[in-house]
Amino acid sequence: MKDRIQQRARDLGFDACRITTASPPESHPRFQQWLADQRHGHMTYLQRNSSKRLDPDRVLPGAKTIVTLAVSYGDSPPTPGSPRRTALAVDSTPSAPTPPAGPAGVLARYARFTDYHQVLAHPLQALARWIDQLGGPGTRSLWYIDTGPVLERDLAQRAGLGFIGKHTNLIHRHLGNWILLAEILTTLKIEPDSPEKNRCGSCTRCLAACPTAAITAPFQLDARRCISYLTIELKEPIPLELRPAIGNRIFGCDDCLSVCPWNRFAHAGALMKNHARADLAEPDLVELLALDDLGFKRRFAGTPILRAKRRGFLRNVCVALGNVGGAPALPALQRCADDPDPLIAEHAGWAIRRVQARARLTGDS
């Protein structure tokens, strides 16, 4: 039965599928301590539904099995002699638009695709229905794409899908860490796979690469310092002391993922490769500041970037320009300083002062 389910998952486009029991994850004491230490920041939903995350039976009563799945959004490994990418590099494809005249922003790689929740929903739903049919009358299955109250990385590691790296993300031995996770909880009992052991060894590249020192120790993340949290989850002003380290990142951060040596095995996934958005490879920061609410929704329709909303996204763009922008960005920043939304206006004012300070130091005007 397990082989049939895993083959069906591959047929539907998933790059990996492994199975574990629905027993509570062994990591629950660490998760509870992480919450107690307030390292989740303003992500209050993690605290609110923590009891469900610690016991899959509270999510789906009678659950016996969890099917864990991975989809790659990586590239094919570079050929020998090809330029090595840096943490801030952006993808370049033959269909990519002409690079912007002004400073460009960097979006997390997964955000340069159609929203993966939309891409994965149909095949995941199809697999869940197929499992119900396979189990017969009374079988119930519930699927999630990183939105459900489950500790998906811990369960995926127990299923042998990959291992949690020192950056706290899941690493697949043959896909690297450019992977999206999904899971199906089911009342059907299926033989579990063996867990994956940790294979980080002595490597600490991810800790060294983190711009804000959010990875406080191996396997420990303080989300309150993470650029992905600051630019996506945080709905309030970005702390002043962390703004310079954000650089030109405007939605998420890949630095700890980019340096992982396991990425040498990464390849383009079957489901995601046709959903790349080349127009998001090097967005012009100054042009982005001109977006009103309707323009923002149209520009990023169908992408994960909508999650930040205009106010959060323009806040991020202002910070990026404060870090890398020159005098030509000042008129656009001044318009944002007059924006009726105080969040945008405050960050624009900070950026203006930064740009002007740099101009005085360099003698630019």
Residue range 96-110: average pLDDT? 79
Active site (annotated) includes residue 293: no
What count of other Cβ atoms lies within 10 Å of the Cβ of residue 242?
Answer: 18
pLDDT for residue 76: 56
pLDDT digits (tens, 9 = 90+) for 144-195: 998 899 999 999 999 999 999 999 999 999 999 999 999 999 999 999 999 9
Q: Kindly name the residue from 57, 91, 146, 284 that is annotated as catalytic.
A: 146
What count of other Cβ atoms lies within 10 Å of the Cβ of residue 213?
Answer: 13
Share of the chain above pLDDT 90, in %: 85
DSSP string, 142-202: EEESS-SSS-HHHHHHHHTS-EE-TTSSEEBTTTBT-EEEEEEEESS--PPPPPPPP--TT
pLDDT for residue 364: 64
The mean pLDDT of the chain is: 91
Which among 37, 78, 60 is positioned nearest to 264, based on CA atoms? 78
Q: Of 74-83, 98-107, 151-160, 193-202, where does mean pLDDT reach its minimum?
A: 74-83
pLDDT for residue 80: 38
Residue range 75-95: average pLDDT? 39
pLDDT digits (tens, 9 = 90+) for 26-67: 988 899 999 999 999 999 999 998 999 999 999 999 999 999
The residue ranges of every structural domain in the chain are: 1-87+110-202+254-277
Which among 70, 67, 66 is positioned nearest to 14, based on CA atoms? 70
pLDDT digits (tens, 9 = 90+) for 251-268: 999 999 999 999 998 877
Q: Which residue has the tokens 């967005």?
A: 283
Residue range 114-137: average pLDDT? 97
